[in-house]
Chains A and B, each alone.
Chain A
Amino acid sequence: MAPFAKALFWCVCTLAVYLAARRLHRACGRWWSSPLLVTWTACGLLIVLLRASYHEYLAGTHWLVWLLGPATIAFAIPIHRHRAMIRQHWLLLSVGVVVGSLLAIATSWAFASFFELSPELRASLLPRSITTPLAMDASRLLGGVPELTAVFTALTGLFGAAVGETLLHVLPVRSYFARGALFGMGAHGAGVAKATELGQEEGVIASLIMIFSGQFTILLVALTTLL
């Protein structure tokens, strides 16, 4: 096949699988039917089965990755929409963001040191608790591999959203604020979806914690690269 035809094939294939996965998820709504997980595994299997290379795959789908930049900018809209909530609870939101982000970085650092991982892998692990586009940016600044960060971040989100409710039964956490913070900090995008199922307020807190922890981590990382 010509390179152009190959690129077109992978582009159409990714979009078709994604649309089908969305439909499947709407019908059954379980964590394993997440469009992210389904599209990832289905396209991954197809690449391996057809003996294609990642380079060929990316030729047709690179424009999707390129849309991460504009999508990150779009986070300004939810921030603006919930400005009343932010003004009212800025202190507690800041506490959640700072504690959660530092905890995420510190635990990743500790485990990476314990397992004696390479500096490159450690840098790819550090930002995995924030939303994927910002995590990939942070990883790039730290000298990590953004693509691996995307994998770790997605795993974090899938796992966090799957165990979050069980964790809420075990922990002495009753306020909507803490329940939202648990999902927003622990499982970013997937967590926000889960928190919204618990309640509107939980969802808003989760999305604000997610966006601000991403910004906080990026600032922290940018500062350390300047030093």
Chain B
Amino acid sequence: MDLGPQIKSVPLSLGRPTRQLLQTGALIGFWWLIQSLVNALHLPLPGSMVGLVLLWVMLDRGVLPLHWLEHGADGLLKHLMLFFVPAMLALVDHPEMLSLLGVKLFVTVLACTLIVMAGTACVVELGFRLCHGSVR
């Protein structure tokens, strides 16, 4: 029985979870590096924003191939909401939100969201019709 080719192909055929884990690790490392740089240089921008633009440029210029990172990135983005739920639970430390203040904030969020959605959609629709003559 010849096991040669199978053994040789092992490093190339990492399972999807392993690849995803490695790529996620690479993204974390990249973010950490950028964040340290931003801190050291006292840039007035968050490190995540600087890293996003840098990674975008590197992908666009072909410095980094998309398949090196895409599984890790898709995984992180898929679970994005899990990452900010702990921050949202800080609400248990803000009992003042259960008063009139909370109602004011609630009304503000709902009303502003409606205005933003309607306003943006109408302006973009107008622009689309100007650019394309008709719809679709």
Report B56 CB to chain A, min CB distance, Å: 4
Most chain A beta-carbon contacts within 10 A, residue among B77, B108, B111, B114: B108
**In chain A, what residue has the closest Cβ to B74?**
A77
**In chain A, what residue has the closest Cβ to B35?**
A69
In the complex, the answer to whether B111 meets A81 with C-beta atoms within 8 Å is: no
**A-chain residues with CB within 8 Å of residue B112 when the two chains form the complex:** 104, 107-108, 111, 128-129, 156
Chain A, interface size: which category?
Answer: 35 or more
Contact of B93 among A54, A92, A156, A172 (CB under 8 A): A54
Which residue numbers of A lie inside 8 Å of B, CB to CB? 14-15, 18, 35-36, 39-40, 43-44, 47-48, 53-54, 57-58, 61-62, 64-65, 67-81, 83, 91-92, 95-96, 99-100, 103-104, 107-108, 111-112, 115, 117, 121, 125, 128-129, 131-134, 136-137, 140-141, 145-148, 150-152, 154-156, 159-160, 163-164, 167-168, 171-179, 181-183, 185-187, 189, 209, 215, 218, 222, 225-226
Give Cα A1 to B53, complex, Å.
45
**In chain A, what residue has the closest Cβ to B86?**
A61
Q: How many residues of B contact A (CB 8 A)?
A: 74
**A-chain residues with CB within 8 Å of residue B73 when the two chains form the complex:** 74, 76-77
**B-chain residues with CB within 8 Å of residue A225 when the two chains form the complex:** 44
In the complex, the answer to whether B85 meets A43 with C-beta atoms within 8 Å is: yes
In the complex, the answer to whether A14 meets B84 with C-beta atoms within 8 Å is: no
**A-chain residues with CB within 8 Å of residue B72 when the two chains form the complex:** 74
**B-chain residues with CB within 8 Å of residue A136 when the two chains form the complex:** 84, 87
Chain B 84-100, CB-CB to A under 8 Å as 1, else 0, gives 11111111111000000
Give Cα A150 to B114, complex, Å.
19
Report A150 CB to chain B, min CB distance, Å: 4
Does B66 make an interface contact (CB < 8 A)?
yes
In the complex, the answer to whether A92 meets B110 with C-beta atoms within 8 Å is: no
